[in-house]
Structure 1
Amino acid sequence: MHVLITGGAGFIGSHLVALHLAQGDKVHVVDDLSTGLRANLAPFEASPNFRFDEADMLTWPLLQQAAAWADRVYHLAAVVGVYRVIAEPTRVLATNIAACERLFRTIAASGWQPQVVVASSSEVYGHRHAELLTEDMDLSVSTRAGTRWNYSVSKIADEALALSYSQKFGIPVVVARFFNTIGPRQTGRYGMVVPRFVEQAVRGEPITVYGDGEQTRSFCDARDNVRALDLLASREGGDALVANVGNDREISMNALAELIRERADSDSPISHVPYLQAYGEDFEDIQRRRPDLIRLRTLTDFQHRYTLEDTLDELIRERRIALTGTEHGHRPLVCHQS
């Protein structure tokens, strides 16, 4: 199978590359490296089945050729991370929506119909406080949300584009609503909470929880997520599909900080930081985010292989090796100011 991955140098994209190369597929990645890292692709560079182009999806001249080559397209290219979304609100809208539209327009014009998997987000559910978020819920954006929610707006638009092009041109589409994804190669530089907590715990620095810490999230290992994507895309039938992808185990940020501190055997104190101080913008955070996975489990034989503890232990070990050269060691000796 020929697989095109836009945004393939990113955290999730690079795990998709690993999955499909391991299955013997030919993989073509395009990424402008504004968020993704070329280092994420280093393990695959020597493979004869791998190709990489550094390019912007809005102007990439080889898009038509690549789309006509592909049997499956994963569209992950986007501006991501709370820090970047707040810093570049207009770019979020322009890049995320326009890139998706150009991809589908190009595919429709080609006459070839590769399967397209579009990465959406749990943020399309808005401020719902339901115990479980289901795919048939209405999507919403708060009028009090501020520029942070431009990301949610862009993902709702991408979903609408995908479903519209599927209906009008018969393009087989899977819209995957990702919940919080974690794992190797994720960085905390754009606001991702787990790598930030792990870094602070391993260094013995205060673990900074934003807000009161009672907001909950559901974390899934990227390697489980990409297997779920492949299973959804490989199912029988070509009808357009929207599906939650993630893990339905729920944990508060306070409990997550405590768990990481425990797994890292760290003395780090836990410190609460107001949103205004953390992001330079005060906004309403989503208080609960837990997926209903009935559709995923009904349509596929998907089962999680990684527990939250499994992933955290791996991330802590990798970060400790990077900082100290050994996966073992004593708790860091630091002085915490009162």
Structure 2
Amino acid sequence: MTCLITGGAGFIGSHLVDLMMELGETVHVLDNLSSGDLNNISAWLTSPRLTVFQGDILNKEHISEALEGCDTVFHLAANPEVRSENASPTDHFKQNIQGTYNLLECIRESGGVKRYVFASTSTVYGEPSVIPTPETYAPLMPISHYGASKLASEALSMAYASMYEFGCVVYRFANVIGPRSNHGVIYDFVTKLKETPSRLEVLGDGTQTKSYLYVDDCITGVMAGLDNLGHQIRIYNIGSNTRVDVLSLASAVVDVVGFEDVEIYTTGGVSGGRGWKGDVKKMQLDITLLHSKGWRAELSSLEAITETAKCLNALL
């Protein structure tokens, strides 16, 4: 396999690079390094099987250069910011939808790609009435610009795969956490505690309840759905079968950091106790379909939270 990994120097992408290199594959990485870091893949930088292209998916010339000779594409490059105050609708449209369109156009023009994997998100479901939520749930009504941009990108991906006859797998990720993450609730909590050891602010009313997936489990899940793909189009949820409320998450992080007598307090939140506009208060994915492929997450949500907090506490 010769694969292109967009966003390959980022959090999830770099772990996928690790696995591909360990398997002996040839890997091309396309990353603009806006949030990714070459230190994440430093173990492989001298390998002749890894080529890094510092470029942007908003530039088709950059994509075409990185795509040359590749038969498989893992598309992870995106603006991952869910909070509306930190990313505008324009940011999401350009970086997620326009970037995905550019990549798919280059795949169409190259004619050499046989398998395409798109990293989507549980936020495409919006606020589902069925929890755990299966892949067949409808209608899909995202409540954030991020979720909407990912849903639009899913549609583009599947349409191109159908029209131009390459295999396509869409993975809807739960909250993926672990080493090398540089944003998200656990990163925020560890950073806040380092700055103010006596108090920890929790956005929202504290009742938000979600599942968390350790990044190593996420990567093995991505590989599990690729067997005998051919020209098929598949959609899989990837998550854990447990969920944790944000106050319990905060307590777990405090325990790992080791500070005593920490006051954990909530802001009350917006729109019924959400942490921010577009925050989904309750989410757990039905992962029965990926289980049928033999995949299981090794860590529960709480175990993943604890391991992630340990990693970040040692670094920050």
Question: Do they superpose with TM above 0.5?
Answer: yes
Residue of structure 1 equivalent to 2:131: 131
Residue of structure 2 equivalent to 1:304: 297
1:257-268 paired onto structure 2 within 5 Å? 257-267=250-260, 268=262
CA distance in 1, matches of 2:191, 2:78: 25
**For 1:69, what is the secondary structure of its paired residue?**
coil
Q: 1:179-199: CA deviations, max 9, x gaps?
A: 1000000013xxx11222233
Deviation at 1:234, TM superposition (A): 2.9
CA distance in 1, matches of 2:139, 2:22: 36
Deviation at 1:163, TM superposition (A): 1.0
Change (3 A) 1:284 1:103: closer
Q: Which residue type is aligned with residue 90 of structure 1?
A: T
Q: Return the match for 1:283 from 277, 292, 303.
A: 277
Change (3 A) 1:215 1:316: closer
Deviation at 1:103, TM superposition (A): 1.3
Deviation at 1:201, TM superposition (A): 4.5
Q: Return the match for 1:193 from 178, 185, 189.
A: 185
**For 1:61, what is the secondary structure of its paired residue?**
helix
1:167-316 paired onto structure 2 within 5 Å? 167-188=162-183, 192-201=184-193, 204-235=197-228, 237-267=230-260, 268-275=262-269, 283=277, 285-298=279-292, 300-316=293-309
Moved more, 39-48 or 281-290: 281-290
Deviation at 1:41, TM superposition (A): 2.2
Q: Is the 8 A contact 1:78 1:96 kept in 2?
A: yes
Q: Which residue type is aligned with residue 145 of structure 2?
A: N
Moved more, 286-295 or 74-83: 74-83
Change (3 A) 1:120 1:320: closer
Q: Is the 8 A contact 1:92 1:151 kept in 2?
A: yes
Q: 1:186-245: CA deviations, max 9, x gaps?
A: 013xxx112222334466242221111111110000111011101212345541001101
Q: Is the 8 A contact 1:215 1:288 kept in 2?
A: yes
Q: 1:8-31: CA deviations, max 9, x gaps?
A: 111000100011111111111011
Moved more, 194-203 or 72-81: 194-203
**For 1:234, what is the secondary structure of its paired residue?**
coil
Change (3 A) 1:157 1:236: closer
Q: Is the 8 A contact 2:132 2:285 kept in 1?
A: yes
CA distance in 2, matches of 1:233, 1:297: 13
Deviation at 1:283, TM superposition (A): 2.2
CA distance in 1, matches of 2:249, 2:230: 39
CA distance in 2, matches of 1:113, 1:317: 39
CA distance in 1, matches of 2:123, 2:313: 32
CA distance in 1, matches of 2:239, 2:62: 32
Q: Which residue type is aligned with residue 248 of structure 2?
A: A
1:102-121 paired onto structure 2 within 5 Å? 102-121=102-121
Q: Return the match for 2:310 from 298, 317, 327.
A: 317
1:30-109 paired onto structure 2 within 5 Å? 30-83=30-83, 86-109=86-109
Percent of residue pairs identical: 30
**For 2:133, what is the secondary structure of its paired residue?**
coil
**For 2:298, what is the secondary structure of its paired residue?**
coil
How much is the aligned-residue C-alpha RMSD, in angstroms? 2.2
Which segments of 5 or more consecutive residues in structure 1 lack a partner in the other structure? Answer: 324-338
Change (3 A) 1:205 1:100: farther
Change (3 A) 1:14 1:284: closer
Q: What's the TM-score, normalizing by structure 1? A: 0.84
Deviation at 1:322, TM superposition (A): 3.3
CA distance in 1, matches of 2:39, 2:155: 33
**For 1:20, what is the secondary structure of its paired residue?**
helix
CA distance in 2, matches of 1:223, 1:129: 29
1:324-335 paired onto structure 2 within 5 Å? none
Q: Is the 8 A contact 2:244 2:301 kept in 1?
A: no
**For 1:105, what is the secondary structure of its paired residue?**
helix
Change (3 A) 1:84 1:60: farther
Q: Which residue type is aligned with residue 9 of structure 2?
A: A
**For 1:58, what is the secondary structure of its paired residue?**
coil
Q: Is the 8 A contact 1:30 1:52 kept in 2?
A: yes
Q: Return the match for 2:154 from 139, 150, 159.
A: 159
CA distance in 2, matches of 1:238, 1:297: 22
